[in-house]
Structures are given as structure tokens and as C-alpha cells.
């Protein structure tokens, strides 16, 4: 990749050690002659990343999710440094960042383009999600009846606590906690997982990435809430369907040389099987 000459840094000051790490990485960047801009805002205003070559996000996956929409819009790669807990998205550890940041600034990384979901609740009302779209009752966790249509074909209607629509990237987030499958980030699919369905045969359904999904509220006394990446909420009218597709924009995510997805999964989920014999 080309060397980074203009760097944006987003630091979550609520994460232990993030502020200090931000200062250290900024010092490395200044010594390399890189122009900097920095913020601790959890959600970036439109245009804030324009002109940047990359954005270093220091925090947890939630911090990165707050930057993802603007990064995808501006096509500015994110370098995620983990100061949170699991860190499926912020894949650089503190030690890796400190040891290799000068190399990253020199362009020693590759870009992984991650699929995002485009969710619409009506003309001019839509948002992007990197991990998932959650549809549930707007008031509490009572059961709702949700009818799902895929490309004008009825799938079924669910009596459940809600539905999770997940990208492959988001398959290790809420989808996994709800019993859904782990999906490789390069797979071209959308996973739909019901939350506490009242039919034992209701399980995750995998759709191709060109599908157009529509969800209708069939509970007459219930209004819906649509949560994007667990951070932003859209309120849905009683008659408006929720439409979900793969977005045109993809998130450019910087990965270190030698990055392996399942090595991260094994580490974060504490799987065994770390030894692979080299041929």
C-alpha cells in the first residue's frame, strides 16, 4: 500500500490506556512526518475523514463501529487497535501497534473490504451497519410477529423477540450470542437469526448477498425499533416495511501482513487447535 501521509486518530478515552497509547502513536507519526488530526468523538461528523489516508481507531469494537459509516463513505481505511475486550475488528494489539506502527505508516499492510448492510425504513430514511441490523419491539422485549420476504418470495413469519440480520463480519457479534453461525468475512451472504423463536425449527437462514429482504410488522398493537450495530436506532411506522440489502459501500479495514481470520477467532473464543504443521 502507499505510505500514509495524513492520518486521523480516534481515541476512546473511556478505555483503559487508550489515551496514553494515542499519544505514543501520534508521536511516532509526527517523527515520520505524518500530518495528524485527532478526536475522541464516538461518532464522526460527515466529511471529517475527507483527505485522510487512514484512520487509526484506539478502543474496542464499539469504537470502530462508530467510525465505520464515515470510513466507508470516504473510503478511508481503518487501523483498529484494541483497548477493549474481545476485539474482533480492532485486530492490532497494543504491543503490535507500538512495535509496528512506523511500518504501517510506511504502507506495510493490506486492505480487507468488509460488506455492510443498507437498511431502509422508507424513502430517504436509511442507514449503514457493519455488524448487524436488529428488529424488535420498540417498547420492550415482548413477542412480535415479523413476516420476512426475500426477493418477493415469502420466507415465513416469526413469532419471536426479534430478528438479527448479520454480515459475515458481524457473525461473531450478536448473531453468535443468539446461536447463529460463524461466517468467514469473505463469504457473500447475509445471515438472519431469530431471537427466542416460538418454533423449535426456526433457525438461522443464510441468504445470498444480492438478496433484497423486507420485514413486515404483523403485530397490530406493536411498533418496531431497528437498531444499527447496537448504536443507532430507527423508529418504524406501523405499515412501513424494513428493507435490508448489502450496501454499495464496503468498509476498508487495514490488516497486518500475515493476518489470519481464524487465528483471531481461535484467540478471542479461546478455541484449541493452535498448532498447524508447516509443509
* pLDDT surpasses 60 at 51: yes
* pLDDT surpasses 80 at 239: no
What is the Cα–Cα distance from 115 to 137, expressed in whole angstroms? 27
Residues designated as active site: 61
What is the Cα–Cα distance from 203 to 192, expressed in whole angstroms? 8
Buried b (16+ CB within 10 A) or exposed e, 43-63: ebeeebbeebbbbbbbbbbbb
Q: Hey, which CATH number is domain 116-248, 2.60.200.30, 3.40.50.1970, 2.70.98.10, 1.10.3720.10? A: 2.60.200.30
What is the arithmetic mean of pLDDT over 188-212? 95
Q: Which CATH superfamily is domain 6-109+256-269 in?
A: Probable inorganic polyphosphate/atp-NAD kinase; domain 1 (3.40.50.10330)
For residues 96 and 256, the answer to whether their CB atoms sit within 8 Å is yes
User: Cα 104–56–6 angle (5° rounding)?
Assistant: 70
The pLDDT score that the predictor gives to residue 45 is 92
* pLDDT surpasses 80 at 191: yes
* pLDDT surpasses 70 at 274: no
The residue that leads in pLDDT, 243 or 220, is 243
| DSSP letter for each residue of the chain | -PPP-EEEEEE-TTSTTHHHHHHHHHHHHHHTT-EEEEE--SSPPTTTTTT-SEEEEEE-HHHHHHHHHHHHHHT--EEEEE-SSS-SS--B-HHHHHHHHHHHHTT--EEEEEEEEEEEEETTEEEEESSEEEEEESSSS--EEEEEEETTEEEEEEEESEEEEE-SGGGGTHHHHTTPPP--TTS-EEEEEEES-SSTT---EEEETT--EEEEE--TT--EEEEETTTEEEEE-SSPPEEEEEEEEEEEEEE-TT--HHHHHHHHHT-S-------
All cell numbers assigned to 257: 501482513
Buried b (16+ CB within 10 A) or exposed e, 237-268: eeebbbbbbbbebbbbbbbbeeeebeebeeee
Domain chopping of the chain, boundaries = 6-109+256-269, 116-248
For residues 21 and 59, the answer to whether their CB atoms sit within 8 Å is no
All cell numbers assigned to 17: 490506556
All cell numbers assigned to 83: 483497548
User: What pTM value is reported for the model?
Assistant: 0.92
The pLDDT score that the predictor gives to residue 263 is 86
Confidence of residue 264 (pLDDT cuts 50, 70, 90): confident
Per the prediction, the chain carries an average pLDDT of 93
Span 83-115, pLDDT tens digits: 977 788 998 999 999 999 999 999 999 999 999
The pLDDT score that the predictor gives to residue 163 is 98
pLDDT over 90 for what percent of the chain? 78
Amino acid at each position: 500500500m502507499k505510505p500514509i501521509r495524513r492520518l486521523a486518530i480516534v481515541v476512546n478515552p473511556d478505555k483503559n490506556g487508550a489515551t496514553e497509547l494515542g499519544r505514543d502513536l501520534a508521536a511516532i507519526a509526527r517523527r515520520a512526518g505524518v500530518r495528524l488530526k485527532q478526536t475522541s468523538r464516538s461518532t464522526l461528523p460527515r466529511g471529517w475523514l475527507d483527505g485522510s489516508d487512514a484512520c487509526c481507531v484506539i478502543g474496542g469494537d464499539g469504537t470502530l463501529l462508530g467510525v465505520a459509516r464515515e470510513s466507508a463513505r470516504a473510503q478511508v481505511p481503518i487501523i483498529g487497535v484494541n483497548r477493549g475486550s474481545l476485539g474482533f475488528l480492532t485486530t492490532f494489539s497494543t504491543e503490535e501497534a507500538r512495535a509496528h506502527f512506523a511500518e504501517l505508516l510506511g504502507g506495510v499492510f493490506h486492505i480487507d473490504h468488509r460488506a455492510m448492510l443498507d437498511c431502509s425504513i422508507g424513502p430517504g430514511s436509511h442507514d449503514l451497519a457493519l455488524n448487524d441490523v436488529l428488529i424488535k419491539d420498540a417498547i420492550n422485549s415482548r413477542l412480535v410477529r415479523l413476516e420476512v420476504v426475500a426477493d418477493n418470495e415469502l420466507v415465513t413469519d416469526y413469532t419471536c423477540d426479534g430478528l438479527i440480520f448479520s454480515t459475515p463480519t458481524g457473525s461473531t457479534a450478536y448473531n453468535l450470542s443468539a446461536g447463529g453461525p460463524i461466517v468467514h468475512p469473505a463469504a457473500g451472504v447475509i445471515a438472519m437469526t431469530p431471537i427466542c423463536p416460538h418454533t423449535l425449527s426456526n433457525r438461522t437462514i443464510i441468504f445470498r448477498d444480492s438478496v433484497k429482504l423486507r420485514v413486515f410488522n404483523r403485530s397490530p398493537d406493536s411498533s418496531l425499533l431497528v437498531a444499527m450495530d447496537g448504536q443507532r436506532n430507527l423508529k418504524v411506522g406501523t405499515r412501513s416495511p424494513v428493507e435490508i440489502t448489502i450496501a454499495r459501500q464496503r468498509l476498508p479495514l487495514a490488516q497486518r501482513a500475515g493476518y489470519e481470520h481464524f487465528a483471531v477467532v481461535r484467540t478471542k473464543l479461546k478455541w484449541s487447535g493452535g498448532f498447524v504443521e508447516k509443509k
